[in-house]
Structure 1
């Protein structure tokens, strides 16, 4: 069994037990988990191996790629601008980014970028990896692109484009790249080990990612488990897996920007670039601390005020249809992608988190950052054994343990 180090305050043993069980049962290789309550850490644990090949242990300062958990950090940046009166979510994007209005996009409001309703889930013109890393070529491609659907009527996860769309609005308003804005306004004030655009000197602290075996022979084979996890009828789950998530679907295209796949994701060039929806490197302590500062004071710093949090966590996608799903499935799927303004909302049985007011964002591979304004919790979980599941059971089990400790 892997060694686990760190802090566990009285009353929080169930979280520690769940974390240790993940190693004992072979679900984790290396990982960290942190829980903040009322602005201070009550659980801060790490263990296992950061690199199996080198037998390098996971240390307190180990950081790892957290994939789409990055989206939550970028959303917090946007809501800081809303709170300061610099960004109006109901204003058209072209108020801040005039060139975006080409190809029928002139009426798209900012809130549709944050809630994946803009109809731009992938870039439909060739963009190389080098061009994506350079930022501007990809922005130019999005400017001239026509939406895949009538914006505001459907939604689909904008896996890679979300960060560029929201990030460019941040850049136009502030004159700073989204990674720089995040560093100066969030990470540095809170003392976080978290970067969107990783400095080279942090490279020795990175955990090596390993992919867990895909447990299904095909996408269709996962339908029964998907139905159980999402609380869906099997027939509905089969339709979604086939038409929405299947090969050739817009969802499958959404994860790629040019050739930003495979080995490129493991490159120094990818880590150094800014992909504000996908390439933050962080540890669990920093993610928990960041989210804690959205719902409480953390060492005298509070990022977002309660009215900002209340407004940004209102569900946006419950009246729109998931792109690719038949219209008759709207009643069964309206809360399947329970997205607010940049955050997934608590939606039992999936992503139940800590209570009905909870919000956060998961990432491919299993990471999760989340907060709850009622219990004033900030949570972070970061693994390096990437499981090929739509919602990672490790994160669900840990948040369930937190909820039980809260009572």
Structure 2
């Protein structure tokens, strides 16, 4: 059903008028509620648009500084922390995780490598024992359970999407090296010095700027049960242990927690700036965050396969790099197969294309049913590449 297009604010270079048209069409044809998109080319802003509503009641307009939970788009930012430590010689991506986190060696995991954490190939896509959302807020408990559990498959042989566990696994390695949890390390080393409006979790003082997440229409009970029946046990563990959605993410408890795979809060500008570090050979403006070699290492493919968790939803093979996904032949991040990015549950996206010197951040609050490649995101990506 066609909906009226709310006033779209911001700026868009004439060359990228198609991106504005796609952004407006998302409201008119694809059920957008509130959203923002930013595109950087050569480090310069060529698109910076926002519009719609920050709440389901349509009482708060989406502003240029509205923050929103971006779910798994957070993963690329958490990976950036690990790559910064590797670039400084403090973390060896080819070392066993247990070299930094001794307890992790339990249950046959003594040979699991750091790069396997970053590439969803560690076999730890989900916990085997029930784990509640409240327990997810307990960093020490969650990490202790991950350290004690056995892998679902032989580490290094396949990828299986570590939907929530990724952030605790990579984040605990960061903590073991620096003494800081990922939120604090990110702020001290990257977002604070660069003035990037992004945080893992949401500081209480910023709650007034946060958009309300709104879930997609729930499937009927029979449809949902049929979908779950098709999932293998590892996918159920990864995606449903615990179940977390808009209702949980809108609570003060979720926002206060550190869930570095899923509760980053930021603007489209912030997402474009952070993924822009990967696109610009490690630079953010005049500031060098990573060496060119470290930035290039981020997109080293770790093996193309049918993902053990997402395979039922994707009818094609995918390839993880080191904390992000390669666009590959399916073009999730545009036509360059070596472009990288990460989608967030429900629609958000960060994209980095070093060959085009381009990055994109897209954030929204009406969650679609897609884990990746939401039609709204793909419309924006296609429009961007039609202009470059």
Structure 1 contact 113–162 (Cα < 8 Å) conserved: yes
> 1:244-255, aligned counterparts within 5 Å?
246-247=230-231, 249-255=233-239
Corresponding position: 1:192 with 2:196: yes
Structure 2 unaligned residues grouped into runs of 5+: none
Give the Cα–Cα distance (whole angstroms) in 1 for the partners of residues 236 and 201 of structure 2.
25
Matched, 1:300 2:292: no
Given the two structures, how large is their TM-score scaled by the length of structure 2?
Answer: 0.91
- What's the counterpart of residue 400 of structure 1? 382
> For residue 313 of structure 1, what is the aligned residue in structure 2?
299
Q: Is the 8 A contact 1:354 1:402 kept in 2?
A: no
Find the counterpart in structure 1 of residue 137 from structure 2.
133
Alpha-carbon distance between aligned partners in 2 of 1:215 and 1:134, rounded to the nearest angstrom: 31
Look up the SS of the partner of 1:103 in the other structure: helix
**Equivalent in 255, 261, 284 of residue 271 of structure 1:** 255
**Alignment equivalent of 1:351, drawn from 332, 355, 367:** 332
Deviations 1:108-166 (A, max 9, x none): 01111111111111112243433321200111111111111111122210101011000
- Do the aligned residues in 2 keep the contact of 1:312 with 1:341 (CA within 8 Å)? yes
CA distance in 1, matches of 2:309, 2:88: 37
Give, in angstroms, the shift of residue 242 of structure 1. Answer: 8.2
Could you tell me which residue of structure 1 aligns to residue 366 of structure 2? 385
CA distance in 2, matches of 1:58, 1:79: 33
* Counterpart in the other structure of 1:49: 53
1:151 match: secondary structure: coil
CA distance in 2, matches of 1:29, 1:321: 33
Counterparts of 1:112-191 in structure 2 under 5 Å?
A: 112-191=116-195
Partners of 1:219 and 1:397 lie apart in 2 by 27
C-alpha distance in 1 between matches for 2:191 and 2:199: 8
* C-alpha spacing 1:117/1:298, structure 2 compared with 1 (3 Å): closer
TM-score scaled by structure 1? 0.87
Unmatched 5+ stretches in structure 1: 222-240
**Could you report, residue by residue, the CA deviation over 1:31-78 in whole angstroms, capped at 9, with x for unpaired residues?**
000001111211000001111315210000001110010101001111
- Contact 1:96–1:173 (Cα < 8 Å) also in 2: yes
Q: Is the 8 A contact 2:334 2:385 kept in 1?
A: yes
SS in structure 2 at match of 1:210: coil
Aligned residue among 345, 348, 352 for 1:364: 345
User: Which moved further from structure 2: 370-379 or 293-302?
Assistant: 293-302
Identify if the C-alpha distance between structure 1 residues 37 and 386 changes in structure 2 by more than 3 Å, giving closer, same or farther. same
For residues 274 and 335 of structure 2, the distance between their equivalents in structure 1, rounded to whole angstroms, comes to 17
State the match for 2:9 in structure 1. Answer: 5
- 2:306–2:317 contact (8 Å) kept in structure 1: no
- Count matched residues: 379
Query: 1:86 — aligned with what?
Result: 90
Alpha carbons of structure 1 residues 132 and 352: separation in structure 2 relative to 1, 3 Å:
closer
Q: Distance in 1 between matches of 2:244 and 2:387?
A: 40
- Please say if residues 66 and 382 of structure 1, whose CA atoms lie closer than 8 Å, have aligned partners that are also in contact: yes
Mapped partners of 2:148, 2:216: distance in 1: 38
- Counterparts of 1:261 and 1:28 in 2: how far apart (Å)? 18
Partner of 1:323: 308
The answer to whether the Cα contact below 8 Å between 1:291 and 1:369 also exists between their aligned partners in 2 is yes
Distance 1:155 1:248 in 2: 14
1:269-319: per-residue Cα shift (whole Å, max 9, x none)? 11111000000111101100111123324331232333222222121132x
Contact persistence 1:127–1:137 (CA under 8 A):
no
Asked whether the 8 Å contact 2:55–2:211 carries over to 1, the reply is yes
- The Cα of 1:173 is off from its aligned counterpart by 0.8
Instruction: Write out the 4+ residue segments of structure 1 that deviate beyond 6 Å after TM superposition.
Output: none
Secondary structure of 2:287 counterpart: coil
Residues 89-119 of structure 1 show CA distances to partners (whole Å, capped at 9, x for unaligned) of 1100011111100110000011111111111
What SS does the corresponding residue of 1:76 show, helix, strand or coil? helix
